[in-house]
A and B are shown apart, each in its own frame.
Chain A
Amino acid sequence: KQEVTQIPAALSVPEGENLVLNCSFTDSAIYNLQWFRQDPGKGLTSLLLIQSSQREQTSGRLNASLDKSSGRSTLYIAASQPGDSATYLCAVRVDRGSTLGRLYFGRGTQLTVWP
């Protein structure tokens, strides 16, 4: 069974810092990996999607890398802002056997950026 782990569980930083959020997964046979953002009590907003054949994806101040063979992904947030405060979730998509279409989620990293 796929297990997804996110470190750290919580992070509190002053604005302007460059941040690193880590995600690891136990089964490297993934289709893709997706990073989401979740604001309190809200749904998930997709940030970046990395296919298994890709090494990284960038969107604005966000950059996500994927090392499939070692089962790791990293989300970099440059020049953090208070508006970045949210929970960041990592999810991998496994497509085999009885797990068609399923995403396996980590527990998330709760980020607080203070002014």
Chain B
Amino acid sequence: ETGVTQTPRHLVMGMTNKKSLKCEQHLGHNAMYWYKQSAKKPLELMFVYSLEERVENNSVPSRFSPECPNSSHLFLHLHTLQPEDSALYLCASSQGILQGYGYTFGSGTRLTVV
């Protein structure tokens, strides 16, 4: 496992369900991110948190709701999703958003909406 842990690894949910994805980093980083990877598309940034404050919301639909209770944990709350939301959701962290540090990614949550 890397220093960024995501749970669950796989999730199947109906369109009326509510579920949450969890991400935890053990690296002492100050910035955390959610990315979405759909088939045949480049990775897309969804949200950026710096020191527990959201600094970017990349025009993501409101059915995705992030939460960052502290600098080590990041959640993505899901409700009334659509089948096209099925994708690999990746969490990442970096030492900061302004410095030239690299990213560390988790293993991802494979989400299937039925």
Contacts and interface: CB of A to CB of B under 8 A. Distances in A.
B94 interface: yes
A17 interface: no
Size bracket, chain A contacts: 20 to 34
Interface in A29-77: 31-32, 34, 36, 41-46, 49, 51-52
Interface residues of B, number: 31
B45 A32 contact: no
B2 to A, nearest CB: 7
A99 B97 CA distance: 10
Contacts, number: 71
Interface stretch (B11-19, B62-70, B75-83, B104-112): B104-112
B60 interface: no
B65 to A, nearest CB: 20
11 contacts: A34-B103, A42-B108, A43-B105, A44-B90, A46-B102, A49-B102, A52-B100, A95-B98, A98-B56, A102-B48, A107-B41
Given A101-B50, A103-B35, A103-B45, 5 more contacts: A36-B105, A43-B105, A102-B58, A105-B42, A105-B43
Interface of B: 2, 6, 31, 33, 35, 40-43, 45, 48, 50, 55-56, 58, 88, 90, 92, 94, 96-98, 100, 102-108, 110
Interface of A: 4, 31-32, 34, 36, 41-46, 49, 51-52, 89, 91, 93, 95, 98-108
